Structure formats: structure tokens, C-alpha cells
Structure 1
Amino acid sequence: MQDWNVILVDDEEEFVSTLAERLRLRGIPVRVTTDGEEALRMMETDPPQVVVLDVLMPGLGGLEVLKRIQADYPEVKVILLTGQGSTWDGIQGMRMGVFDYLMKPLNIDDLIGKIREAVGGG
């Protein structure tokens, strides 16, 4: 897992920092941002294998970030995170070609499984 390169993008600071800590404790290195624009800037210098991306964010929303990732980094896999009220956005994301989507609250093992699948580790 050490060679994995993952970016977490979610505007809920406490959620994303806790999630990052839980992933790091399981040996998954992650970079974190609470802003879609910042995520795109992070990708310019070191594109990840996987972006875990919240759909509903202020400013540049998740689906717009997804469009830009797909245009500029088509090899990057995106896993969308949706809340209870944004299931439609997850379905829309699937139609747009995301790798997968998960509902919040997350099961950490489900997320790790999706990341593993996305990086080709079965």
C-alpha cells in the first residue's frame, strides 16, 4: 500500500482529517484538502492514482472537479462521496464515468476496498 497515491477532498474539515488519520493508520498515505481548486493544484505537481471526492462542496463542487480531473488526468480514478440527500449526484457521477461512489457515513473497510480496486490491487 505504500506506493498508493490518494487525495481526499471534502469540505468538512473534521470528517476529512479523521478519515485521513484512519487511512494512514492502515498504511495508506493520503493528502487532504477541503477545497476543489486546491485539489486540482495538488494534482498538477503529483497526480494521484485515486481521488476520493465529496460531491457537495461550496465553491467548485464535486461534479465540476470531476469534469476537470477527467479532462486533464483521465488515468486518475475518482471515488465520489455522497450524503443521504445527494444520491442522485452519485448516480450522475457514475454516468460521468467515476470509478465508484460511496454513501456517507462511510465504512472505512468499504472505502479501502474501493481504493484497492481502483489502484488495481483487486
Structure 2
Amino acid sequence: MSQIKVMLIDDELEFTSIFSERLILRNFDVIAVNKVEDAFTKLRETLPDVILLDLKMPGMNGIEMLKIMRRFDPTIEIIIITGHALGLDKEEAVSMGAFDRLLKPLDINEVIKTIEQAYKKKNLEQRFLKNNTL
């Protein structure tokens, strides 16, 4: 499997620093951002395969960001991360276009498994679209 490009978007500097390092050590290509405006700039520059998106961001909530990112590139898989179990359940997140919703504190093995599943789904969808447009 090729290196998966992951964008981690969370306003908690310490969290993004530590968690992105943990993902890098597991051979992921990680772009970490802490501000909404930086997230959209990096999205245009790097086109990640999977996004880990915090639900609560200053200036714009994760659901609004998810909708904009989906319009920008519907093939990017977005995993909502939140520390608030009551804020958004998995079914709600998926119905809004997320691949999944994970609760903080994040379990690295669960995150890796979810990222890999999202990446496989993205690749299958891209191959399907490619085969049906030929």
C-alpha cells in the first residue's frame, strides 16, 4: 500500500503535534493544521487522501468545514474527531458525509484502522468512477 496522505485538523496545538508524530511513525504522510483558514489553504495545495477533522474549531464548526471540503473534492474521506460524545453520533456524522466519527481520547490503533478503511473506500470509488467513464 502506498503512503496515505492524512490531514489532521484540530485547534489543540499539543494534540496535533503529538498525534501527527504518532501517525508519521506509522508511515503516514501527515499535514497538521490548527486553524480553519490554514486547513482550506493546505487542502488546495496537498489534496490529502483522508482528513481527521475536529468537530469544534474556532471560527467554523467541523460540520460546516466537512460540507465545504466535500464540495471541493468529494473523493476525500473525512473522519470527524470529537471529545464530546453527545455532540454528534456516528450515524449523524455519516449522514452528513463523513466516513466515520471517532471519540477523543483517540486510540491510535482504531484511528489507523479507520484511516486505512477510508483510504480503501476512496480507492475503490475512484476505480469504479474511472472504469465507468471509459
- The TM-score, its normalising length taken from structure 2, stands at 0.83
Match of 1:96?
A: 96
Residues 65-105 of structure 1 show CA distances to partners (whole Å, capped at 9, x for unaligned) of 10101111100000000113544265432221210110001
Match of 1:114?
A: 114
Q: 1:27: Cα distance to partner?
A: 1.1
List gaps (5 residues or longer) in structure 1.
none
Match of 2:54?
A: 54
The share of aligned pairs that are identical, in percent, is 37
Contact kept, 8 Å, 1:55 with 1:63, in 2: the verdict is: yes
C-alpha separation in 2, matches of 1:19 and 1:28: 11
C-alpha separation in 2, matches of 1:45 and 1:34: 16
Contact kept, 8 Å, 1:7 with 1:48, in 2: the verdict is: yes
C-alpha separation in 2, matches of 1:86 and 1:61: 15
Q: Which has the larger radius of gyration?
A: 2
Contact kept, 8 Å, 1:81 with 1:90, in 2: the verdict is: no
C-alpha separation in 1, matches of 2:52 and 2:76: 11
Q: 1:69 to 1:80 in 2, by over 3 A?
A: same
* Secondary structure at 1:120 match in 2: helix
Q: 1:80 to 1:23 in 2, by over 3 A?
A: same
Whichever residue aligns with residue 74 of structure 1, its letter is: P
Runs of 4+ displaced beyond 2 Å = 84-93
List gaps (5 residues or longer) in structure 2.
122-134
Whichever residue aligns with residue 96 of structure 1, its letter is: M
Q: 1:37: Cα distance to partner?
A: 2.0
1:5-24 to 2 correspondences below 5 Å = 5-24=5-24
Whichever residue aligns with residue 71 of structure 2, its letter is: A
CA RMSD of aligned residues (A): 1.7
Residues 50-69 of structure 1 show CA distances to partners (whole Å, capped at 9, x for unaligned) of 00000011112211110101
Number of equivalences: 121
